[in-house]
A and B are shown apart, each in its own frame.
Chain A
Amino acid sequence: MIELRILLGFAIFLCLCSCKHTEGEYHSLNDKIEEEGKKYHGTDISSETYIGDIETLEITEGGHTFLIPERKGQLKSYACTECHSKPLSEMQNNANAQRAHWDIKVVHADENAMNCATCHNGNAMDHLKSLTGNAVDFNRSYKLCSQCHTTQFEDWKGGAHGKNIGGWSEPRAAMTCVNCHNPHQPQIESKWPVQFNTQKVKERE
């Protein structure tokens, strides 16, 4: 009986020893991040100055709140109604109509899925239009993209897709879809690298 007790005592002793959780010691980096993250109270480091002089607006999507660049001010000739004073059908049928937007070619999905009218409303050009016909502000054009590109939208909200602006700390600012992708031709072309890769590896052989 006494041996059993010693054995039991030894087992308990082993259990206590094998898992020494002293302050600042964790089994893995993930444990450490998780544990120490619980005590997180924010830092006094701010990234605000690095956003620069671009104008931003705050959006909240799916529990994420962050800044995106303002868009309307960047458009060459907003408001659209300065030219589009009449519904598109009337303007197109006019014999003296000026030919505009000749440089825009839609290479986005195929013709069955998309044309100009998928996102633009010929009767209200100052706003974009959702698939169900609701008006969407030009500043929130990501709402159009997210109608089809749902996984990219999820990643973008979390921060896995798209580009961060300025710094890693608060406030978070991120590029919106149209800052990188041309909405009419969203595919990004291949190009040459900006410089050679290092030749060192070759030398070492």
Chain B
Amino acid sequence: MSEKKKWFTLDLGFNKKVPTASSCGCGKTSGGCGSHEAPSPSKNEHAMTAEEFDKAVEGTMVDETRKDGFQQVFDVKMDRRTAFRKLTASLLVGAGAVQTSCSVIAGEESKEKAQIDWEEQFKGNYKLMTQEERDATVDRLVRSYQLRKKENIKMSATDASKDVLFGYAFNISKCQGYMDCVSACVEENNQDRNSQMQYIRIHEMKDGEGFKFNEADDNYYHEVPAEGHFYMGTQCFHCDDPPCVDVCPVQATWREEDGLVVIDYDWCIGCRYCMAACPYDGRRFNWSKPEVPEEEVNKNQHYLGNRMRKKGVMEKCTFCIQRSRAGKDPACVEACPTGARIFGNLLDPDSTIRWVLANKKVFRLKEDLGTEPKFWYFMD
């Protein structure tokens, strides 16, 4: 991680890179629980010279300062009430997992599932993870999906590239309200099919009256474009100074180096502060368990993007992080039949988005708030 972080971090000595002795939730050291595919350093501990022993002791001493997994939760000074609360919540999951994983009757597969659940339960915040830890959780999620649904997914944890800052422009004279973008977005990002979860909203507004969101028709269904109306879309604007990030009490959402504002769905506690803080109605909450028919699941996923969410967490547009970080246009840009949506790299002086910013009369919503959205509107 870069040195100039914009968030406050508790220094627990995380940044010291020390090979950790593998600690397994099920208590086994033989690797039979299936979560130790990587060669663990503890395997050859039996045959050890005196020097090696000394080194190992030193290693564990440093190790104590670098807390990992459930130690992050348990080895922290706290009052009794918090401790009990944490214990009851986590142990309910943990106890079930331990029971299954240590049971003689349960099969290898359910043991592995329990092991994955255990490790997922106690993993850290994605933002603070090392690359190895990120890869490990991605592997666990892929394996977990494989065990549960018997299907293979491809999940990446691609980091932001240098010299990239994503920006978006929306041509309000071109948008005709066809809604292709919304359909493509729902399919691409594995959004819940039951609760009408949609990241993009298309507003039908009267010509000549400006942006009046309270008078806009957001529920139109008629032949478009309707006479005397224009259409404009809103979604997450990926503000450069995002208020939603500031209010998150657990730092489950943050701004990445390439400007994308992302959420760690496994760290989100669902308090919806960010939803209240967003001046643009950009964030969505999963009131129910998101469900997508298996054949419609987009298997090309990103940890911070379109991987399956759970009930009670926030989600929103990520500019299709799984696509954009690989060089592809977001699904809405690709789907738009009118070419009203323009996406690109703001740092590239030759990009189309930069041309639009330089040559068209662009504006952003609620610019006076100082949130610096990276989503511009313009007209022909």
Interface residues of A (CB under 8 A from B): 23-24, 28-30, 32-33, 36-37, 39-47, 49-50, 151, 155, 158-164, 166-169, 172, 175, 180, 188, 190-202
Contact = CB atoms under 8 A, between A and B. Distances in A.
B196 interface: yes
A43 B163 contact: yes
B327 A45 contact: yes
Contacts of A44: 161
29 contacts: A24-B4, A37-B346, A40-B163, A41-B163, A42-B348, A46-B327, A151-B380, A158-B356, A159-B351, A160-B342, A160-B352, A160-B359, A161-B339, A164-B343, A168-B328, A168-B329, A168-B343, A168-B345, A191-B178, A192-B222, A194-B183, A196-B179, A196-B221, A197-B179, A197-B182, A197-B198, A197-B218, A198-B218, A202-B219
Given A32-B240, A42-B163, A47 B327 contact: yes
Nearest to A33: B346
Contacts, number: 162
B329 A197 contact: no
B177 A193 contact: yes
Interface range, B side: 35 or more
Nearest to A50: B328
B16 interface: no
B347 A28 contact: no
A197 B202 contact: yes
Contacts of A164: 329, 333, 339, 342-343, 352
B356 A159 contact: yes
Contacts of A23: 4
A167 B352 contact: no
A166 B329 contact: yes
Contacts of B338: 163, 188
A39 B225 CA distance: 43
A102 B328 CA distance: 41
Contacts of A163: 336-339
Chain A contact residues, majority secondary structure = loop
Given A43-B163, A161-B380, A194 B359 contact: no
By Cβ-Cβ distance, the 10 closest A-B pairs, closest first, are A159-B352, A158-B355, A163-B339, A193-B179, A29-B372, A45-B327, A167-B327, A168-B344, A47-B327, A169-B327
Interface of B: 4, 161-165, 167, 169, 171, 174, 176-180, 182-183, 196, 198, 201-202, 218-225, 240, 324-329, 333, 336-339, 342-349, 351-357, 359-360, 372, 374, 378, 380
A158 B351 CA distance: 9
A191 B349 CA distance: 37
Contacts of A161: 174, 339, 380
Contact of B178 (A42, A168, A194): A194
A47 B333 CA distance: 14
A191 B348 contact: no
B159 to A, nearest CB: 12
A174 B171 CA distance: 16
Contacts of B162: 43
Given A160-B355, A168-B333, A198-B219, 15 more contacts: A30-B357, A33-B167, A43-B348, A158-B352, A159-B342, A159-B356, A160-B171, A160-B342, A168-B324, A168-B328, A168-B343, A191-B223, A196-B179, A197-B182, A201-B219
Given A158-B355, A175-B339, A37 B348 contact: yes
Contacts of A195: 179, 182-183
